[in-house]
Structure 1
């Protein structure tokens, strides 16, 4: 980047940050202006505008608010009070938004539970937030039943729809509930530092953790993309991500609802139908996560990719190769890649379309954006300290962990953490650059180039050591995902008896049948020897979470034993120049050290 380019980029980032700060300057942890206040202001300004388009039906701001009021008044009749928690287990639909908006109107909070959960994980989500009531969409009753034996206390359940015998049919009850706005006195005395929502981590590394989402944090997320995307009332934001996810349910929803624009809401993402839906609904913007971009680009090129009205999109996790292809194939020039952990205080935004970057921290903004990349030990996951006992920032293009300075008095620098406080300690590192300072550990490895652009590399702990070398799972995954027929790839290390480190294993989801010999040759040509997966495992779609992430903790635990794993496993064979089926005989030979890896 030359001087003129740097100056232009600095100007873009400075003006962009200032615009966002001005739009959110009234949001403070100690303000009495809460999330439902922001919503009601938007309703009063845009009551006749369309708020949600769903299944061909349009719901206005005024209608959505009336529905939210009904939920609020119903909750009051159930004895829900300020500070209580009500849980929601529901698929995408307008009532999803109306419900949690209504619950926050009376000073209570709402736990947004992954609607795929059942049994112990579902019970855990209810137990950890001490939910008073669970409200479900139809077809969720069996999930609740499977969780009952794991509950700490009985949690009354209601279904918004028909179930056998009509038991707990909330829709029937709502017909007799007032749609008047609840008295604001019900949330009197509350400040924006109090909890509005609980949003759970995806569960890829264990049981879901309930992230504490304060009113201030939710307000910031709801408003965060309005300025950058230049949202206006005529916009239509296409959301095909689950609403229990912060990216879809808060950032994307707010991009529309805080601007008087409309949400085009889909029940779930469909790569084959995406562009057709975009055309039919006149969508102008959409939200993505990286895997979604990969799915879209794996589809055959069609005229629909160029016949839509979408001018920009935003989201996180879009890999550079997919990003370039998306822009070229669809004509969408403005891609706003952002980074932000649900529970953390590190927030980055790419505002100048630098492909592959998640944002930039120019030297001129280092005080305003206190995100740093520090040196860590990839194996122990401990920060590396110098002789003075402090941490050191990485050099240009050196990989390290991203951290964010904690300041309880600054809205964007607070660390709210998890409901289970025991989970918070490992996320904070103290005495980083000076005595007494504290930083939030993202657990994400990044690199910062000489111009200040930041790039996501991997999750800390998602690297493993094999043949005396560190292997980045994300980098190997990118290579595999580029092979024709591979829809998604998740890479991890598995322990092998008699070997130091971990052997690489890739769990892949296929779009169609693949030639294993061709894959073996491709891997050999694209990756160094130590990074080539030793094992390949074929997965079905149900092994991913609702946001297309793999449940890695389960995969690692299962290892590569063909006696216990029902899905096919293949092992690299130099003799066959292919990946061959891992039989029980081959497995035992590996365990005895009779087969070289």
Structure 2
């Protein structure tokens, strides 16, 4: 029986892998076929089928294309040339996809700006985009207006809404533009190696960087998920993730639109309305980021949560502790977890639903994948090299950095960031032989004997304390099992006179939380070196637009009650967690505690 189950699992894995590779094998960097050609082919095949629904409005494939064509002709009318950029700074709406799809038809690059940004981070992203035009709506226009003085060069503001002052009326401008596709000659000579989009990193540890998304990379995302999900023309995919991010804006849209299916697009995610909306919209799939799923399982039970037609949830970052709850409580038949980075050349899928695994590369297919794990020194944050000067590959169960060999074919190409210096920092050279080059993911993982990969932590998030490596990801998972803990964000902070960094946890709690019981949970569930020395109570956790927890401000403010206004606690060696007053803080920093 065990052998039969194993054979069935292998068959499922190989079938899914073959289906995915079948959709991407024809992609080539020197091909004149661009992502807009893939989408145009879908339009011709399913012109009259519903393509996208948003806030009660549904448009067909043909109507979606007509809107995109207006954007293409609008760009031509501005004399925008191939390779030039337009910034797109809006929340989710039908026109969002149409704008970049249309501009790609004339070779113009679209910079997808996080619509939640304001101030210096927004100005930074607009400046590095190199755009001379920015598309906004009524919601984002005020934030754009506030940073105009910080822009390095003039940028025309086009608004989908009422134009005021120096704003230009995009609605009126588009009305005068043709709905017919622009002549293909306008992109003659372009290849899939040319840039299609700029997608920005989330900025969890600093200012965002602009990743260069070529037509090849966009095709890999969209075609890859069209194959890996097994989506069909009768599928309706629920997308509540922001379209400025690759998971929602490329992976999910590709799964639907390249298969004749429909996208049910939401302006933003709502945990309390999620299942009711999924049922009402007759959805069959949804795309997730791990934190989205945790919000769902933390919601009170709802009668609609098992009345849905969802047959698959797909996405990345799903924590093992949430995985089982999501699948069983909501009765979701299949979960497709994947791993990938916006700027990198490493991607993998967990096709057979092994809980907690982010992907799999079985030993018998090892040569077909460019993925390896190398031993890593957490203190120096560099891969370990042996006596021969080369890196050392990890064995089963060993934690190391995931790297991807850089090659010339579409799947192994590394396009990096707009900033060349930032791109070069992500390349590891002379890894296993002289002259080879590998992309550094910045992620620590481990692999088991069957080839399943498991995410451990981001490099920089893992810290060293008492001579041991502490994974913030693993500690946070344990803390969230404690009664009353809704969210936990773990990081390392410096303590004067101590080596390494001490663990600190920012917590969002409810009425079930008890500090003494939490201290007992910590002592029982975690080894001494991994037990948070400091706690910070938060009313809500600050996250990025893709639900990633921000750490940079938390690390900077540390455990100083002069900087932090919410309650802080210190794990006293004799008393357990005690409140940090100015007196306690001074005693800690003066070395008055044995820690």
**Which TM class, normalised by the smaller chain length?**
over 0.9
Q: Which range moves more in the overlay, 221-230 or 245-254?
A: 221-230
Closer, same or farther: CA 289–109 of 1 in aligned 2, 3 Å? same
Q: Which range moves more in the overlay, 167-176 or 117-126?
A: 167-176
C-alpha displacement of 1:270? 1.0
Alpha-carbon displacement from aligned partner over 1:494-546 (angstroms, at most 9, x marks no partner)? 01112111111112234557322222222122111111111112335472111
Tell me how far apart the structure 2 counterparts of residues 294 and 542 of structure 1 sit (CA, whole Å).
13
Tell me how far apart the structure 2 counterparts of residues 307 and 262 of structure 1 sit (CA, whole Å).
20
Alpha-carbon displacement from aligned partner over 1:388-446 (angstroms, at most 9, x marks no partner)? 211121111111111111102x1000011000000012211111112221111111111
User: Does the 8 Å CA contact 1:291/1:488 hold for their aligned counterparts?
Assistant: no
Closer, same or farther: CA 383–5 of 1 in aligned 2, 3 Å? farther
Tell me how far apart the structure 2 counterparts of residues 72 and 511 of structure 1 sit (CA, whole Å).
51
Partner of 1:584: 582
Partner of 2:124: 124
Partner of 1:12: 12
Tell me how far apart the structure 2 counterparts of residues 369 and 123 of structure 1 sit (CA, whole Å).
39
The 5 A counterparts of 1:169-318 are: 169-318=169-318
Tell me how far apart the structure 2 counterparts of residues 472 and 546 of structure 1 sit (CA, whole Å).
24
TM-score (norm 2): 0.97
Partner of 1:475: 474
User: Does the 8 Å CA contact 2:279/2:307 hold for their aligned counterparts?
Assistant: yes
User: Does the 8 Å CA contact 1:534/1:571 hold for their aligned counterparts?
Assistant: yes
Tell me how far apart the structure 2 counterparts of residues 175 and 546 of structure 1 sit (CA, whole Å).
32
C-alpha displacement of 1:482? 2.3
Partner of 2:30: 30
The 5 A counterparts of 1:364-443 are: 364-408=364-408, 410-443=409-442
Alpha-carbon displacement from aligned partner over 1:15-47 (angstroms, at most 9, x marks no partner)? 332222222222110000001111111111111
Tell me how far apart the structure 2 counterparts of residues 121 and 480 of structure 1 sit (CA, whole Å).
31
Partner of 2:493: 494
Tell me how far apart the structure 2 counterparts of residues 488 and 102 of structure 1 sit (CA, whole Å).
40
User: Does the 8 Å CA contact 1:237/1:262 hold for their aligned counterparts?
Assistant: yes
Tell me how far apart the structure 2 counterparts of residues 510 and 148 of structure 1 sit (CA, whole Å).
40
Asked if residue 568 in structure 1 is aligned to residue 563 in structure 2, the reply is no
Asked if residue 355 in structure 1 is aligned to residue 368 in structure 2, the reply is no
The 5 A counterparts of 1:452-531 are: 452-510=451-509, 514-531=513-530
Tell me how far apart the structure 2 counterparts of residues 477 and 524 of structure 1 sit (CA, whole Å).
14
Q: Which range moves more in the overlay, 80-89 or 483-492?
A: 483-492
Partner of 1:61: 61
User: Does the 8 Å CA contact 2:157/2:167 hold for their aligned counterparts?
Assistant: no
Tell me how far apart the structure 1 counterparts of residues 358 and 131 of structure 2 sit (CA, whole Å).
36
SS in 2 for 1:543: coil
Q: Which range moves more in the overlay, 277-286 or 9-18?
A: 9-18
User: Does the 8 Å CA contact 1:486/1:512 hold for their aligned counterparts?
Assistant: no
Tell me how far apart the structure 1 counterparts of residues 168 and 539 of structure 2 sit (CA, whole Å).
35
Structure 1 residue ranges without an equivalent (≥5):
none
Tell me how far apart the structure 2 counterparts of residues 176 and 259 of structure 1 sit (CA, whole Å).
32
User: Does the 8 Å CA contact 1:294/1:487 hold for their aligned counterparts?
Assistant: no
C-alpha displacement of 1:5? 5.3
SS in 1 for 2:369: coil
Alpha-carbon displacement from aligned partner over 1:62-103 (angstroms, at most 9, x marks no partner)? 111111111111122222111110011110111111111111
User: Does the 8 Å CA contact 1:14/1:365 hold for their aligned counterparts?
Assistant: no
Tell me how far apart the structure 2 counterparts of residues 241 and 480 of structure 1 sit (CA, whole Å).
26
Alpha-carbon displacement from aligned partner over 1:214-233 (angstroms, at most 9, x marks no partner)? 00110110111222221111
Tell me how far apart the structure 2 counterparts of residues 8 and 233 of structure 1 sit (CA, whole Å).
27
Equivalences, count: 595
C-alpha displacement of 1:9? 4.0
Asked if residue 557 in structure 1 is aligned to residue 560 in structure 2, the reply is no
Asked if residue 594 in structure 1 is aligned to residue 592 in structure 2, the reply is yes
User: Does the 8 Å CA contact 2:338/2:349 hold for their aligned counterparts?
Assistant: yes
Asked if residue 546 in structure 1 is aligned to residue 545 in structure 2, the reply is yes
Q: Which range moves more in the overlay, 251-260 or 553-562?
A: 553-562
Tell me how far apart the structure 2 counterparts of residues 502 and 462 of structure 1 sit (CA, whole Å).
11
Q: Which range moves more in the overlay, 159-168 or 232-241?
A: 159-168
C-alpha displacement of 1:576? 4.4
C-alpha displacement of 1:164? 4.4
SS in 2 for 1:367: helix
Asked if residue 48 in structure 1 is aligned to residue 48 in structure 2, the reply is yes
Tell me how far apart the structure 2 counterparts of residues 338 and 406 of structure 1 sit (CA, whole Å).
20
User: Does the 8 Å CA contact 2:398/2:446 hold for their aligned counterparts?
Assistant: yes
Closer, same or farther: CA 211–511 of 1 in aligned 2, 3 Å? farther
Partner of 1:91: 91
C-alpha displacement of 1:136? 1.0
Tell me how far apart the structure 2 counterparts of residues 535 and 127 of structure 1 sit (CA, whole Å).
38
